[in-house]
Amino acid sequence: MTSTATSEKSKNKFEKFKAEKDGLAVKEELEHFAQIGWEAVDQTDLEQRLKWLGIFYRPVTPGKFMLRMRTPNGVLTSPQLQVLAEIVQRYGDDGSADITTRQNIQLRGVRLEDIPEIFSRLHEADMTSMQSGMDNVRNITGSPMAGLDAEELIDTRELTQKVQDMITNSGEGNPEFTNLPRKFNIAIEGGRDNSVHAEINDIALVPAYKDGELGFNILVGGFFSSKRCEAAIPLNAWVPPTEEAVVGICRAILEVYRDRGLRANRQKSRLMWLIESLGLDEFRKLVEEALGYSLKTAAPEDEIDWDKRDHIGIHAQKQPGKYYVGLNVPVGKLATDDLFDLVRLADVYGEGKIRFTVEQNLIIPHIDEGNLETFLSEPLLEKFSTNPAPLTRSLVSCTGATFCNFALVETKQRALATAQQLEAELNIPDGVRIHWTGCPNSCGQPQVADFGLMGTKARKDGQMVEAVDLFMGGKVGKDAQLGNRIQKSIPCEDLPDVLRQILIDEFGATPKEAA
């Protein structure tokens, strides 16, 4: 670590507690914590360091923890999902799960005393929650269609897994990368439709041909934070799609970020701030030094040239006679019974695989053509539709006030209720994407949506009420671009009126009576 970084380090309370004791150290104390109970655990261990293991103390529901898994490329097997279902089952009404905006799953209601046993079950099932929170690399996203899509360029599944294995020491925890200056996001796209929102990641690999050879162009520095949001910029580098090259470039960038990243002010610690302070050329040079070889310059163009697909519905796979079916999981919420049912559906109709998307939906692949009709008549598909109403179809929502103490508003229920109200009132052409996020941290990615709704407070009739700022103009797929805040502090109770008018004026919606 450079001396500049070390002297800055002392200025920030997060840097202080990380220097006192690495987050990963609590792994050795889990049995002890389980015995003494969460109330007796040191406050910093409880509220901060446990997040290094994916265990999130929830001040909104003390004693009921959230467990954030890692699901590289969003792929789980049915035995793995069965384990997750059994974990939340024991918590009765408190137990549930959420699909996240990083193609991942979080469990609710978890008790600290059960964590040692839960971790050994995860280990047996080859799953991990390691390093999924705080100053670590988040779930590595990849094309949800990997290995299924006839038009796919690169299958990203093995690559996302290998990058995760490098960062987490195959899920055991890797102290090399547990003290980054801040959180860090990596995405690997292998198709043509930017299914992972490449532009909002600290590192994104996007498919590109260099001198006729298929590989990846590298983008760096994309991020959202409460103070600033930036799309990733080209590093002017291309790598072949091999494990060695992909893991190598991710490792090298992480090492530069770890050793040089700005640690004084957490609002200015994400990778983009370092790139700007060094200059892109110097940053690239440092990455090459960390790699130990020169990078090839970027291919002139990448291969992202399709509109983004949402994967909902029935789609032919490249394997003849096989189909994948995308189910719409409203705002990503999964009850315990849903989890068990999904395991059964994947086993009976598919090949025991479930995939998540960054839209908080899921895919069951490898269904035989002859079984499609029976599959579509399964009761769970009434809840998780293959043909959802136009707003619910693309609805995304962060956790919000139900479990998140940063939230300024309740999000998930309100998102669904608002969408359903507007769907009842209007004929809406397909393709209006609404993203809710409970506070400016932007976990629900309002900047990538047609309508982005960010929780805030407003004064109405002399009272403080829950409200949202409205973002518009987010574009996804090819030519992705971030949306901007166009209206501030709309009281939530007035929101349906505001959205209804914009849907009519700008999205071709018509009132139902007039149809």
**Residues marked as catalytic:** 68, 182-183, 438, 443-444
The residue within the footprint of ligand SRM, chosen from 38, 119, 177, 224 (CB under 6 A), is 224
439 binds, among ligand SF4, ligand SRM, none (CB under 5 to 8 A by kind): ligand SF4
Separation in Å, CA 371 to CA 250, 342, 349, 475? 41, 16, 7, 36
Residues near ligand SF4, by CB under 6 A: 398-400, 404, 406-407, 437-439, 441-444
Measured CA to CA, the distance from residue 375 to residue 287 in angstroms comes to 49
* Spatial distance between the Cα atoms of 342 and 353, rounded to a whole number of angstroms: 10
For β-strands 396-397 and 434-437, DSSP reports them as parallel
Is 44 an interacting residue with respect to ligand SRM (CB under 6 A)? no
Q: Is 111 exposed, middle or buried (0-12, 13-18, 19+ CB in 10 A)?
A: middle
Question: Which range in 10-18, 144-152, 179-187, 378-386 contacts ligand SRM by CB under 6 A?
Answer: 179-187
- The partner in contact with residue 437, picked from ligand SF4, ligand SRM, none with C-beta cut-offs of 5 to 8 angstroms by kind, is ligand SF4
Terminus-to-terminus CA distance in the chain, angstroms? Answer: 66
Q: Which of ligand SRM, ligand SF4, none does residue 270 bind (CB under 5 to 8 Å by kind)?
A: ligand SRM
- Among residues 49, 183, 353, 355, the one that binds ligand SRM under rule CB under 6 A: 183
Token output for 172: 């055991």
Q: Using CB distances below 5 to 8 A depending on partner kind, what does residue 183 bind out of ligand SF4, ligand SRM, none?
A: ligand SRM
Q: What is the CA radius of gyration of the chain?
A: 22
Q: Give CA separation, 79 vs 53, 58, 338, in Å.
A: 22, 28, 15
Nearer to ligand SF4, 325 or 454 (CB): 454
Residue 208 binds which entry of ligand SRM, ligand SF4, none, CB below 5-8 Å type-dependent: none
Toward ligand SRM, which CB reaches closer, 302 or 359? 359
Q: For the CB of residue 317, give the shortest distance to ligand SRM in the complex, in Å.
A: 26
Question: Closest distance between ligand SF4 and the C-beta of residue 150, in Å?
Answer: 36
Instruction: Choose the contact partner of 161 out of ligand SF4, ligand SRM, none; CB within 5 to 8 A by kind.
Output: none
Sign of CA dihedral 395, 398, 402, 407: negative
The least CB distance from residue 397 to ligand SF4, in Å, is: 8
DSSP 276-295: HHH-HHHHHHHHHHHHTSPP
Report the residue count for the chain: 515
Of the two residues 248 and 473, which places its CB atom closer to ligand SRM in the complex?
473
Helix (H) or strand (E) holding 220: strand 213-220
Q: Which of 395, 370, 400 is nearest to 385 (CA)?
A: 395
The bridge status of strand 333-335 relative to strand 353-356 is unpaired
For residue 130, the minimal CB distance to ligand SRM (Å) is 12
The C-alpha atoms of residue 204 and residue 36 are separated, in whole angstroms, by 42
- Does residue 406 bind ligand SRM (CB under 6 A)? yes
Instruction: Tell me if 73 contacts ligand SRM by CB under 6 A.
Output: no
The closest of 402, 492, 486, 499 to 456, measured between CA atoms, is: 492
Write the CA distances from 213 to 207, 209, 217, 250, 322, integer angstroms.
10, 5, 12, 20, 30
| CB proximity list for 312: less than 8 A, separation 6 or greater | 326, 327, 328, 361, 385, 386, 387, 388, 393
| Position 403 contacts ligand SRM (CB under 6 A) | yes
Q: What residue is closest to ligand SF4 based on CB?
A: 438
Residue ranges of alpha helices (H) inside 125-171 are 157-168
* Contact of residue 225 among ligand SF4, ligand SRM, none (CB under 5-8 Å per partner type): ligand SRM
Q: With binding defined as CB under 6 A, does residue 166 bind ligand SRM?
A: no
Nearest distance from C-beta of residue 456 to ligand SRM, angstroms: 16
CA–CA separation, 114 and 87 (whole Å): 9
Task: Mark residues 4-43: x for contact with ligand SRM by CB under 6 A, - for none.
Answer: ----------------------------------------
Interacting residue with ligand SRM among 48, 80, 101, 392 (CB under 6 A): 101
> Which token pair is 58?
């929830």
Examine residue 414 and tell whether it contacts ligand SRM (CB under 6 A).
Answer: no
Q: Which of 53, 66, 127, 346 binds ligand SRM (CB under 6 A)?
A: 66
For ligand SRM, the closer of residues 99 and 509 by Cβ is 99
Q: Which residues pair with 334 in a beta bridge?
A: 97
Give the shortest CB-491-to-ligand SF4 separation in angstroms. 18
User: Nearest approach, Cβ of 351 to ligand SRM (angstroms)?
Assistant: 25
Q: Which residues bind ligand SRM (CB under 6 A)?
A: 56, 58, 66, 68, 98, 100-102, 104, 106, 132-133, 138-139, 182-183, 185, 200, 223-226, 270, 398-399, 403-406, 441-443, 445
